[in-house]
Amino acid sequence: MEYLNSSFDTDFELPQEEPSLGEESALPRIRDIITHKEARNIGFQAKLDRVQYGSYKKQRACLLSFKFSFFWPRNTNIRFKSANITISFDKVATFASVTACEPQEDEDEDEDEEDSIENIPHIICLFPDRIYGESQSKSIESSSGLKVSVGVPVPSPASAGLEMTYDGKVTHNLDRRMSIEARMKSSVYKFDSMDTAIWSIAENSIQCIGIPFDIQAGLVLRWPVSGGLVRASIIVEPDMAYPIYKPWQAMTAHKLRQRCKNPIVFDGETAKNDPIGGGKDFGDESFDWTQVVSNPSEYSVS
């Protein structure tokens, strides 16, 4: 039961199949910035803040809230440029089968009962759907460099034409902001059950200061009608950025790979933290979601 209502922590490594970055370069700066040792100082945590069992529009459901935190050395030039957080849910039979790669079926249950959409964990809703940071503007000026030749009738053959240059300048205003977008998808092709949640996070591309250190998010999961255990598997895909010269960017664009694959397990009974909402149905219009998830007031939330 070590994974019951647990939190998830991982550090990262450079994939072993990738070449040693900068090894062939005569510029030691790249080798200094990107090393396996530094990659392992980069971390991620999905802290499980709340597990609350109840109902969503009279269906048995589980309310989950997380605090996602990213860690990287503040005294270096690296940062998280973007990241995807994927949490997939599936049903498992026993705690002994929790660490298995494939979903386990309960042998004691009727095959027809097990082989139904009602027994697949289903994400009813994610919240918030979108989060945006403050907008930043940047003006970019471009030039057409247009040259026009104009014929002018003059007595001298040597002056049969006159070339005129028109330099048309256009100014574009770019608006950019940090964004967090949540979406659901199904990994079970036999049924249309949304069992996977994905959060895509991107920095403000004008500021280039990285993604937020902490993010709160939550979801409501429809519980399998046959009960049992539900396992959450987490995959984190960060994209690091390095403020070095553009010709070298390709050498530093490698994805990091998480080192921890531990799951989180829910047993359908054990809650975490005090319940909120006074026993209200999670689908009730008066249910106060601000008690579940709160993010900085300067963010726009939908």
One domain for residues 274 and 292 = yes
Average pLDDT, the chain: 79
Number of C-beta neighbours around residue 119 at 10 A: 21
One domain for residues 71 and 184 = yes
170 or 147, which is more confident: 170
Confirm whether 1 is domain-assigned.
no
pTM of the model as a whole:
0.79
Tokens of 109: 């249950």
Would you call the peptide bond into 243 cis, given omega within 30 degrees of 0 as the criterion? no
One domain for residues 229 and 106 = yes
Q: How far apart are CA 185 and CA 28, in angstroms?
A: 44
CB neighbour burial string for 152-167, b if at least 16 within 10 angstroms, e if fewer: eeeeeeeeeeeeeeee
Confirm whether 129 is domain-assigned.
yes
pLDDT at 175: 72
Helix (H, G, I), strand (E, B) or coil at 252: helix
Q: How far apart are CA 57 and CA 63, in angstroms?
A: 13
The three state secondary structure string of 145-206 is CEEEEEECCCCCHHHCEEEEEECCEEEEEEEECCEEEEEEECCECCCCECCEEEEEEECCCC
Compute the average pLDDT of residues 24-29: 46
One domain for residues 89 and 163 = no
Confirm whether 241 is domain-assigned.
yes
252 or 220, which is more confident: 220
Confirm whether 246 is domain-assigned.
yes
Confirm whether 2 is domain-assigned.
no
One domain for residues 69 and 108 = yes
Residue 85: left (phi > 0), alpha (psi -120 to 50), or beta? beta
One domain for residues 52 and 114 = yes
Tokens of 101: 């790669």
Q: Report the greatest alpha carbon distance in the chain.
A: 105
Number of C-beta neighbours around residue 239 at 10 A: 17
Radius of gyration of the chain (CA): 27
Q: How far apart are CA 84 and CA 211, in angstroms?
A: 11
One domain for residues 218 and 262 = yes
- Domain boundary (149, 176, 203) is at 176
- Domain boundary (112, 147, 176) is at 176
Confirm whether 3 is domain-assigned.
no
> Where in the sequence is the domain holding 167, given as residue range(s)?
138-176
- Domain boundary (153, 176, 199) is at 176
Number of domains in the chain: 2
pLDDT digits (tens, 9 = 90+) for 216-238: 999 999 999 999 999 999 999 99
One domain for residues 23 and 161 = no
Whether residue 214 contacts residue 199, with contact meaning beta carbons closer than 8 Å, is answered with no
Tokens of 214: 């902490």
Number of C-beta neighbours around residue 264 at 10 A: 23
One domain for residues 246 and 99 = yes
Confirm whether 31 is domain-assigned.
yes
Partners of 216 in beta bridges: 67
One domain for residues 70 and 29 = yes
pLDDT digits (tens, 9 = 90+) for 83-129: 999 999 999 988 887 876 554 544 444 445 455 788 899 999 998 88
Residue 264 pLDDT > 90: yes
Whether residue 85 contacts residue 244, with contact meaning beta carbons closer than 8 Å, is answered with no
Smallest CA-to-CA distance from 204 within 183, 174, 237 is with 174
Smallest CA-to-CA distance from 85 within 122, 126, 133, 124 is with 126
One domain for residues 84 and 185 = yes
166 or 100, which is more confident: 100
Whether residue 39 contacts residue 12, with contact meaning beta carbons closer than 8 Å, is answered with yes
Confirm whether 65 is domain-assigned.
yes
One domain for residues 147 and 221 = no
Max mean pLDDT among 60-64, 135-139, 190-194, 251-255 falls in 60-64
Number of C-beta neighbours around residue 207 at 10 A: 14
